[in-house]
Amino acid sequence: MQSIQVRSDQHWVEIGPGQGALTGPLLKTGVRLDIIELDCDLVSQLQKRYVQQQGLTLHSADALKFDFSALVSRQEKLHIVGNLPYNISTPLLFHLMNFSTLISTMYFMLQKEVVARICAVPGSKTYGRLSVMMQLYCTTDCLFDVSAESFEPVPKVTSAVVQLTPHLRSPAKIDSMADFNMIVSQAFSQRRKTIRNSLKKLLAEESIAALDIDPKKRAERLSLQDYAKISNSYTRSTANR
């Protein structure tokens, strides 16, 4: 809780509260809190534990399918927190990006390698599709690692806490999100190849070079802005066909 900036006038959403280890401290700050839990047994426990609690709404639902826009009223923005299981962390992050304009900030505890991929910079081994897509929507900051010994039972992996702050203004202009997602996915699906080869069915080498991007580079060497240029060029080329 020390790393999370909480004010009593904020609206928070906790995903996967488990047995309520973070729920209680959040409620003590006086925030309005929605919690989303899929496990029916945990939902029952939480209902009994917090039945008299003001400012709390419990949703027995799958966060991967949840409409977060339904929680927003007036001109407020949501603050989201959660300890996300590895098997749903990436799809849930992509789902949340659909609501990024409604979100002020997010704090998640994830497997350390996932946080490394989210925060990776071009040229690093961990830089990939997740890095590009998350950084298109958010400023990403790894706050700290959490040792396995912090949990009972002790897991086999180390965790880390990441802060994601949606951009007020996108760092790159994207003409078509569908094309952008396709270009980035295609480039990293064959990351050992140069982009002139991985993208050859989409754009000619000359078209990539005309964007002041070296077509001999591999996917992990391209910046978010590079991918935006390639995507927008592809969008324009297909529109003119």
- The residue from 145, 166, 187 where one domain ends is 166
Does 201 share its domain with 116?
no
Copy the structure tokens of residue 200: 């050859």
β-sheet bridge partners, residue 131? none
Q: Could you tell me the CA-to-CA distances from 13 to 37, 60, 188 in Å, in that order?
A: 11, 13, 33
Does 185 share its domain with 119?
no
Print the domain residue range for 105: 11-166
Going by pLDDT thresholds of 50, 70 and 90, the confidence category of residue 5 is confident
User: What are the residues whose beta carbons fall under 8 Å from the beta carbon of 164, sequence distance 6 or more?
Assistant: 93, 105, 106, 107, 108, 118, 134, 137, 138, 139, 140, 141
Does 126 share its domain with 28?
yes
Q: b/e per residue, 194-227, with b = 16+ CB within 10 A?
A: bbbebbeebbeeebbeeeebebebbbbebbbebb
At residue 176, φ and ψ (nearest 5 deg) are -145, 115
Q: How many domains does the chain have?
A: 2
Of 169, 18, 30, 162, the residue nearest 89 (C-alpha): 162
Does 22 share its domain with 87?
yes
Does 153 share its domain with 45?
yes
CB 199 within 8 A of CB 211: no
- The residue from 132, 147, 166 where one domain ends is 166
Whole-number Å distance between alpha carbons of 165 and 218: 28
Of 120, 79, 117, the residue nearest 99 (C-alpha): 79
Of 106, 83, 104, 79, the residue nearest 12 (C-alpha): 79
Residue type, 80: I
Mean pLDDT of 4-8: 86
Does 93 share its domain with 189?
no
Please check whether residue 171 lies inside any domain of the structure. no
Give the domain CATH number at 97: 3.40.50.150
Going by pLDDT thresholds of 50, 70 and 90, the confidence category of residue 125 is very high
pLDDT of 2 higher than 80:
no
* Average pLDDT over all residues of the chain: 92
Q: Where on the phi/psi map is residue 30: left (φ > 0), alpha (ψ -120 to 50), or beta?
A: left
Please check whether residue 22 lies inside any domain of the structure. yes
Does 160 share its domain with 90?
yes
**This model's pTM is above 0.85:** yes
Q: What is the DSSP string of 171-209?
A: SS--S-HHHHHHHHHHHHHTTTSBHHHHTTTTS-HHHHH
Does 134 share its domain with 187?
no
Does 184 share its domain with 143?
no
Going by pLDDT thresholds of 50, 70 and 90, the confidence category of residue 161 is very high
Q: Could you tell me the CA-to-CA distances from 39 to 23, 50, 186 in Å, in that order?
A: 16, 16, 36
Does 223 share its domain with 161?
no
Does 49 share its domain with 80?
yes
Structure confidence at residue 196 (pLDDT): 96
Q: What percent of the chain has pLDDT over 90?
A: 78
Does 66 share its domain with 31?
yes
pLDDT digits (tens, 9 = 90+) for 163-196: 999 999 999 999 999 999 999 999 999 888 999 9
